[in-house]
Amino acid sequence: MTTQQLLAVIGLLLALALLSRFGPIAWRSWQIYAGTRSRRLVDAGPLEIPPPDSVATRLQELGTLGFTRIGERSLVLPGRGVRYEWNVGDETGSTYVSAVPTTIGAIIVFYSSFEDGTWVQTMFPRGETIRRPNFFASSVAQSLPAALEAHRKQVGELRAAHGRVRPVRTMADTLRMDADYRSRFGGMTLRRLTVSNIMPGLSALALAVICLLILLLSR
């Protein structure tokens, strides 16, 4: 065996080890992203589902900001099973919130939508920034009140051009709006995260292919 072949064998073994570690993550991330537009949330009620502590803390804070419970929704994700989110809305019906637990706390997302189909989405404490004629996504890291203020400011600036905000007060409203959001913009805020999740697996696959080709061509 030549030095080149030995290095190729070592590289192939390393690539296979990396592929076994990162391949499933990459595949699961792609499945989640690819199915976002067709996947639908469902009502997880009618009984209230107790939130984890990270979400409960944020829901209490939202309560002090004038938001009240709408209900809980659930979703089945590939490789992750059933996932829940908690929904609250403001007294005007112009903004509703999705609270989702994560491994490091909770993600809070404020949503508002105009009659012409334009959406405003503000995430706390992290998220994507996207500006399109009918989709405005941003994130605020400072605080939950700051995120709400930024969201309402953006909605106010767009109101003259896009008309009335569609009211959301019930679970049926949130499910209808979720279907509209997903069919129009589903996955748009997941692209960067999906790329970062699949790159290690793709890199390992590429290394395996290169090493295998070296072995085959050097025979």
Query: How confident is the model over 138-186, as pLDDT tens digits?
Result: 999 999 999 999 999 999 999 999 999 999 999 999 999 999 999 999 8
199 pLDDT exceeds 80?
yes
Dihedral angle at the C-alpha atoms of 64, 68, 72, 73, nearest 10 degrees? Answer: -100
| Position with higher pLDDT, 126 vs 1 | 126
Sequence-distant (6+) residues with CB within 8 A of 162 are: 114, 115, 116, 118
Query: Is a pLDDT exceeding 80 seen at residue 219?
Result: no
pLDDT at 218: 80
Banded pLDDT at 73 (limits 50, 70, 90):
very high
The pLDDT tens digits of the residues spanning 35-57 come to 999 999 999 988 899 999 999 99
Collapsing DSSP states into helix, strand and coil, what is residue 49?
A: coil
Cα(84)–Cα(72) distance, integer angstroms: 7
Q: Which of 1-10, 25-34, 65-74, 126-135 has the lowest mean pLDDT?
A: 1-10
Q: Mean pLDDT across the chain, nearest whole number? A: 93
Residue 117 reports pLDDT greater than 80: yes
**pLDDT of 212 above 80:** yes
Q: Please report, as a single letter, which amino acid is at residue 70.
A: I
In this structure, what are the phi and psi dihedrals at residue 198, rounded to the nearest 5 degrees?
-95, -20
- Before 46, cis peptide (omega within 30)? yes
Is this structure's pTM higher than 0.85? Answer: yes
* pLDDT, position 45: 84
Closest CA to 80 of 19, 22, 24: 24
Q: Is 66 helix (H, G, I), strand (E, B) or coil?
A: coil
Residue type, 64: T
